[in-house]
Chain A
Amino acid sequence: MSLSSTLNGSYLTPRLRINKVLPYFTSHTETHVSPKIDSSRTHVNYEVKEDVAVIRMNDPTSKVNTLSVQMQNEMIEVFNEVLANDAVQSAVLISSKPGCFIAGADINMIQACNTSEEVTKLSQEGQKMFARIENSPKPIVAAINGPCLGGGLEFAIACQYRVATKSKKTVLGTPEVMLGLLPGAGGTQRLPKMVGIPGAFDMMLTGRNIRADKAKKMGLVHQLVDPLGPGLKSPEERTIEYLEEVAIQCAKGIVNKKISLTKEKGMMQKVQDYVMGIEFVRQQIYKTVTAKVMKMSKGLYPAPLKIIESVKAGLEQGPDSGYLAEAQNFGKLAMTSESNALIGLYHGQVACKKNRFGVPERPVKNLAILGAGLMGAGIAQVTVDKGIHTVLKDTTVEGLSRGQQQVYKGLNDKTKKKTITSFERDFTLASLTGQLDYSGFEKADMVIEAVFEDLNIKHRVIKEVEAVIPPHCIFATNTSALPIKDIAAASIRPEKVIGMHYFSPVDKMQLLEIITTDKTSKDTTASAVAVGLKQGKVIIVVGDGPGFYTTRCLAPMLAEAVRLLQEGVDPKKLDALTTGFGFPVGAATLADEVGIDVAAHVAEDLGKAFGSRFGGGNVEVLKTMVEKGFKGRKSGKGCYVYTPGLKSKDVNPDIEDVLGKYKLTPNPLVSSDSDVQYRLVSRFVNEAVMCLQEGILNGPVEGDIGAVFGLGFPPCLGGPFRFVDTFGANKLVEKMKRYEEVYGNHFTPCQLLLDHAKDSSKRFHK
């Protein structure tokens, strides 16, 4: 999902520099400049500097370069000209966009295909093009600044040499797996040779971004170039120019044999190569990697397995089989529902990273957070490093210093991982003020309260705060269940009140659910979204109501989980069944993570609001657990017992008693493993569809994003709405009716779901 996350570079209009002598390196030799500019080309062009062809890419219609049809066609045209040009000895491939090399292939190109054969053909065309690059008699140097991902990386590794800037924006990677695909233009074949089998698997199976310095260590790039600061041009512009100059030197160096393309192998490398040469070792690696993939993906994601298969084909049966396997597997994957779901999530995520409410009247520069608990401090942590002055207020010194320590630790962990320096940590922390009073609140542009989930306390706080903040200041409340309008009832300016529901842990969870009431002004919403986006969040904006969207979907599922526990399903079994369906965290563990007390609170509140429909498990189970001190992970005991320092956890032996007290007899008709899974999921999905029906949700896209990013709905299913589309509303309704007969209205499908079941042409996603 990282395709767009790093693409915020400034955009320079395409420009061709003609007759410009290199200011570097070339002082002594004569400079031939013969511009080759074909005005009919809009994406790729080149000019010849001395004997080096500088090929420049720039998609004028987008902020990023993608390997679109147009880009590819022009690239082939230019490549042919470069090969035919006798004045050219070598070439440099560079992007004119300061912030982006190539962000990947054009996903729409794949989505436009109807059969796997078409996609396979697409892959083979890409393979052919890159094979020509790889076999080019004139060496080609890829000069990389900004993201070099997916097809972009495959292009780069087909080149003879790679130079990359050390900029933070420069990342290399193969994120295809996150879209349920594989690197389909030779990536599965070239990477193992370049970075070794383990390294290649790591890259392709995780899809993670690799920063330039790491890429150099791995052997993915040959040379690094430092980003430059202010000079006689803007840093971005000059850095790209510098990169080009260095790349040209490399290209010349390769031609005149000053740079050797066959790297002298170190001892370690030789040993590694020897070990990898043993077939038994390779087989062991395939086995281990496959086992690991199966364990992590529960076999729900086909792409990782196809990646292993393609790599194996190439290494064991030779390149012809390898490339063929890659192309065919690519074709197969593109037609899978998993890929469709993941691509849907990717598009949805891009959509939820935009502010559809426009630019707020005034940007938030000073933000105050009330309550330095886990949530408040988490919000502070993701705010303070975005250049926003952040006040963290609590009522006690202990609470405050715990929160300050949490922020410090979050930043210090980044220092330990070397993503920031200790100085950057200190500098960032300088924007955080911890305090016990309301001083300075007269400068606040936004206040986010994260105090106890108690309406009376929230009312008291809103009144206190409104007495000290300026008129323009927005009051955001971080609640997971209390309706915002009830909180806003105590406000003297409800148009400035909004809900911002963060997920714990705030620095890890990507979702932010923003809740607007009828009275919330559009500018307030725009401002809240702007702050959320700055904090790096994926945002859904939903209507007000008990539990909003996310909590409301989760509540019936947790109620069902409690019922299952009461029916004698072991917490471990419950977890296995939910993770087996694709949830990253099992239902019992999730309850422990959320906190049994919170779950009890929410279950009771929403139970009151929605009536018997939210029933199922007995709330008393949760309440009894809380009474006994089993509040979940935070208290060390919940469904499980947590021992600090220990990763494995055992079922809490004492909950037997609690569950025994509320024991229910399972009905064998609806208690098979599969039924257990669908009982949990159908209640979740039905509630989601109902939220759309009631207008709580703006659309199915936000519904899917909210469920996947906030609640861990199986990503391979793409979210509740895509699940209904793929699984079939009629099939789901059929199942629910069966459960309804046993359990009543807990499983009554909502009208919108019934509509979709009746008419199979009705779909949430086109």
Chain B
Amino acid sequence: YRPHGLRQSFTYRPHGLRQSFTYRPHGLRQSFTYRPHGLRQIQTKSKKTLAKPGVKNIVLVEGVRTPFLLSGTTYADLMPHDLARAALQGLLHKTSLPKDAVDYIIYGTVIQEVKTSNVAREASLGAGFSDKIPSHTVTMACISSNVAMTTGVGLITAGQCDTIVAGGVEFMSDVPIRHSRKMRKTMLALNRAKTLGQRLSLIGSIRMAHLTPELPAVAEFSTAETMGHSADRLAAAFGVTRLEQDEFALRSHTLAKQAQDAGLLSDVISFKVPGRDTVAKDNGIRPSSMEQLAKLKPAFIKPHGTVTAANSSFLTDGASAVLIMSEEKALAMGYKPKAYLRDFVFVSQDPKDQLLLGPAYGTPKVLARAGLTMDDIDVFEFHEAFAGQIMANLKALDSDWFAQTYMGRKVKVGAPAMEKFNLWGGSLSLGHPFGATGCRLVTTVAHRLLKEGGQYGLVAACAAGGQGHAMVIEAYPQ
């Protein structure tokens, strides 16, 4: 195992990359500065391990996901639980886990298919798991599968379970579109109507306006603001330029392409879609040029906004699954764990002006819990909702003023070093099936720690409602 050699083998060359962009980055200049490898050495870590006496070690044994596809493409005719089934079967296949060896199954999802509101149960039954395994579904916007995982961690820590399958699914190719409230009211009344006269009078009361359908809300309920609009304002608040955002978006796509080509995205399973071809790759990765990106008009705040379709994550179909166990149980079953799941936090703040600042709030908090510093982290995987949101979070993390004024901290924790940050692409390029992204982030950290040879990784994500999550992951000694 040679970490340095490996790094070269996946063709990540920051300097080369910079030149290939054919422009002079401003915001990213610092972030692209190459740091000496000394940082990587485990001996310099402030803590050798985050294991705590008397607390069970919880490990990630395996993580998989279906390919993430642009919604409306190959998955278009499926149902959400089909995707979740595919992920679960992939996990079973990859781990050779006996179908009755799981204690509990938890899934995260955001937009619910009303027929399968407990999608965890439908998917686990359909995936062939024993019907004796209870399963439930959780939701917390874009960090739903993070909640699924931490719920599992909680069950193991409490001694209730040893083996948990957690996952997430999102299916944007089909969303519940409802009749209008007026129509629903009429239809429900029709159900209760006893005489023909009553029924006819109810039917007669239906007007054109009744037929206007109700789409699932794209706006934040409490503020009526769409997320893209809020992201644009957030970017403006932190002075993130259009150029910085386009650069970051291009970086995400470029790195994702490199990772895909180098076969690093080993969590992706291939999936034979009924009636369609076998899908084995994410299909939203599209490295473009700065010139192309610059041509796009702002999508939310017109005409002077900076958030465009190209520097935002796109609507995605996909599912993920992870196998989480107590370390003892994993070893007893003969597994070689990939990583320890350590401290985690959930944070929340103002859903209007700080909607997407979850990582900025969660990162210092989880580092403090774990007793680590930014420098101790070798691998960062942040959820990229919008390029502008990521840049804003990085700027917030790097601001003493923000730390003092809004987080009650004396000093900033600093921004993550870019050469450790989302090196295999992110939600902008790989796609973002809301409910499934969390497991992808955790699995990617584990895989990157294995490949790159670091010790600690950090996952951070924002979510609608002004919420956020951060988790520290520790490499499992190889």
Contacts and interface: CB of A to CB of B under 8 A. Distances in A.
Interface of A: 23-25, 27, 223, 225-235, 238, 242, 246, 249, 421, 423, 427
A238 B238 CA distance: 9
A242 B224 contact: no
Given A27-B241, A27-B243, A232-B395, A226 B301 contact: yes
A225 B304 contact: yes
A227 B223 CA distance: 14
B65 interface: no
Interface in B405-456: 405-406
Nearest to A423: B222
A231 B237 contact: yes
Nearest to A258: B303
B72 interface: no
A231 B238 contact: yes
A230 B304 contact: no
B221 A232 contact: no
- Majority SS of interface residues in chain A? loop
B223 to A, nearest CB: 7
Interface residues of B, number: 31
A238 B237 contact: yes
A231 B350 CA distance: 13
27 contacts: A24-B239, A24-B241, A27-B26, A27-B241, A223-B303, A223-B304, A226-B233, A226-B301, A228-B236, A228-B353, A229-B233, A229-B352, A230-B402, A231-B234, A231-B236, A231-B392, A232-B239, A232-B395, A232-B399, A234-B405, A235-B353, A238-B237, A238-B239, A242-B237, A246-B304, A421-B223, A423-B224
Given A230-B353, A230-B405, A23 B233 contact: no
A228 B236 CA distance: 7
Interface string B436-478: 0000000000000000000000000000000000000000000
A230 B354 contact: yes
A23 B241 contact: yes
Contacts of A233: 401
A232 B401 contact: yes
Contacts of A231: 234, 236-239, 392, 395-396, 402
Interface string B286-322: 0000000000000001011000000000000000000
A233 B239 CA distance: 10
A25 B241 contact: yes
A229 B237 contact: yes
B223 A229 contact: no
Nearest to A226: B233
A249 B396 CA distance: 26
A421 B239 contact: no
Nearest to A228: B237
Contacts of A230: 237, 353-354, 402, 405-406
A389 B395 CA distance: 37
Contacts of A225: 304
Nearest to B351: A423
Contacts of A223: 303-304
Contacts of B223: 421, 423
A431 to B, nearest CB: 16
Contacts of B232: 226
Interface in B196-250: 221-224, 229, 232-234, 236-239, 241-243
A229 B224 contact: no
Interface in B113-131: none
Contacts of A238: 236-237, 239
Most buried by B among A25, A226, A234: A226
A223 B303 CA distance: 9
Contacts of B224: 421, 423
Nearest to A233: B401
A23 B239 contact: yes
| Closest 10 A/B residue pairs (Cβ) | A229-B353, A231-B237, A228-B237, A23-B239, A423-B222, A231-B238, A246-B304, A226-B233, A242-B236, A27-B26
B238 A232 contact: yes
Contact of B221 (A25, A226, A228, A423): A423
The winner among B233, B236, B241 for most chain A CB atoms within 10 A is B236
Contact of A229 (B234, B301, B399): B234
Nearest to B399: A232
Contacts of A242: 236-237
B465 to A, nearest CB: 12
Interface string B319-363: 000000000000000000000000000000010111000000000
Contacts of B222: 421, 423, 427
A229 B239 contact: no
A224 to B, nearest CB: 9
Given A25-B242, A226-B236, A231-B236, 8 more contacts: A27-B26, A227-B233, A228-B236, A229-B352, A230-B406, A231-B234, A246-B304, A427-B222
A225 B233 CA distance: 10
Given A27-B243, A246-B304, A232 B402 contact: yes
B349 to A, nearest CB: 9
A421 B234 CA distance: 21
A600 to B, nearest CB: 47
Contacts of A235: 237, 353
Nearest to A163: B304
A263 B229 CA distance: 26
Contacts of B392: 231
Contacts of A229: 233-234, 237, 350, 352-354
A247 to B, nearest CB: 10
Contacts of A249: 304
A419 to B, nearest CB: 13
A749 to B, nearest CB: 60
A539 B180 CA distance: 47
Contacts of A227: 233
A233 B237 CA distance: 8
A251 B441 CA distance: 44
Nearest to B405: A230
A226 B392 CA distance: 17
A233 B406 CA distance: 11
Contacts of B242: 25
Contacts of B221: 423
Nearest to A24: B241
A420 to B, nearest CB: 11
A249 B224 CA distance: 28
Listed residue (A235, A249, A421) with the most chain B CB atoms within 10 angstroms of its CB: A421
A227 to B, nearest CB: 8
A27 B26 CA distance: 8
Contacts of B237: 228-232, 235, 238, 242
- Interface-centre pick from B237, B301, B401 (highest chain A CB count, 10 A): B237
A391 to B, nearest CB: 25
A230 B393 CA distance: 12
Contacts of A423: 221-224
Identify which of A25, A225, A229, A421 gathers the most chain B CB atoms within 10 Å of its CB: A229
A165 B12 CA distance: 44
A25 B26 CA distance: 12
Contacts of B396: 231-232
A246 B229 CA distance: 16
Contacts of A226: 229, 232-233, 236, 301
A230 B405 CA distance: 9
Nearest to B235: A231
Contacts of B402: 230-232
A235 B237 CA distance: 7
A36 B32 CA distance: 38
Nearest to A234: B405
A421 B222 CA distance: 8
A479 B303 CA distance: 56
Contacts of B303: 223
A123 B354 CA distance: 47
B185 to A, nearest CB: 18
B228 to A, nearest CB: 12
Contacts of B229: 226
A423 B466 CA distance: 15
